[in-house]
């Protein structure tokens, strides 16, 4: 049985990106999280995909938990109407609070910040510091180059093949929702 209090951390861009499908998936994901009764944990921004996923979760009656560092309050337009809104001193604290308050990680299309968050979660998993599932939402094949890079890292002897087992690539929101259901049971 799925925990009614499960929390899903979503890492994603503070921009919308070039493909309208990114925003559509952000909105669909936010709505699905609310419909499943899962709390959204995210970076508390009200811009780009961050704002879209949060607004969709709120519109669907979901619970939202946002964490933003003080220096990004204006840049990412801190979304203060969340169920919980936490301001941290820095990015490291933000990532720690988000991670500690989630049961699963979803990485949507995004930039350097999303990559940083992804690699930290996967590295911590590789080191045995957690067993939380990490999903890449591969909207329009966005993460295909990253998967190629991970394969290259393994082929060049800098990681074991097991590295790939710490992440799950999913192509769309329905597949992600199913994978989350399976992971959170």
pLDDT at 5 over 60: yes
Q: What is the largest CA-CA distance in the chain?
A: 47
Share of the chain above pLDDT 70, in %: 98
**What is the per-residue pLDDT across 20-61, written as a single tens digit (0 to 9) for each?**
999 999 999 999 999 999 999 999 999 999 999 999 999 999
pLDDT at 58: 98
The whole model's pTM is what?
A: 0.95
Domains and CATH numbers, the chain: 7-183 (3.40.50.450)
**What is the per-residue pLDDT across 85-98, written as a single tens digit (0 to 9) for each?**
999 999 999 999 99
Identify the band that residue 78 occupies on the pLDDT scale cut at 50, 70 and 90.
Answer: confident
DSSP string for 39-90: EEEE--B-SHHHHHHHHHHHHTT--EEEEEEGGGTTTTTB-TTSSEEEEESS
What values do phi and psi take at 11, rounded to 5?
-100, 130
């Amino acid at each position: 049985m799925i925990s009614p209090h499960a929390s899903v951390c979503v890492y994603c861009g503070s921009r919308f990106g070039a493909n309208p499908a990114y925003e559509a998936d952000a909105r669909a994901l936010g709505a699905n999280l609310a419909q499943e009764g899962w709390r959204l944990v995210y970076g508390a921004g009200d811009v780009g995909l961050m704002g879209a996923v949060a607004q969709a979760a709120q519109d669907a009656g979901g619970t939202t938990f946002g964490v933003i560092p003080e220096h990004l309050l204006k840049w990412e337009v801190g979304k203060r109407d969340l169920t919980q809104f936490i301001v941290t001193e820095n990015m490291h604290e933000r990532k720690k609070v988000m991670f500690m308050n989630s049961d699963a990680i979803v990485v949507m299309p995004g930039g350097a910040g999303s990559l940083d968050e992804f690699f930290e979660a996967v590295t911590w998993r590789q080191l045995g510091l957690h067993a939380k599932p990490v999903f890449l939402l591969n909207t329009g094949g966005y993460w295909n180059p990253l998967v190629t890079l991970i394969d290259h890292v393994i082929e060049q002897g800098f990681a074991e093949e097991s590295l790939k087992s710490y992440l799950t690539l999913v192509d769309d929101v329905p597949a992600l929702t199913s994978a989350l259901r399976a992971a959170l049971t």
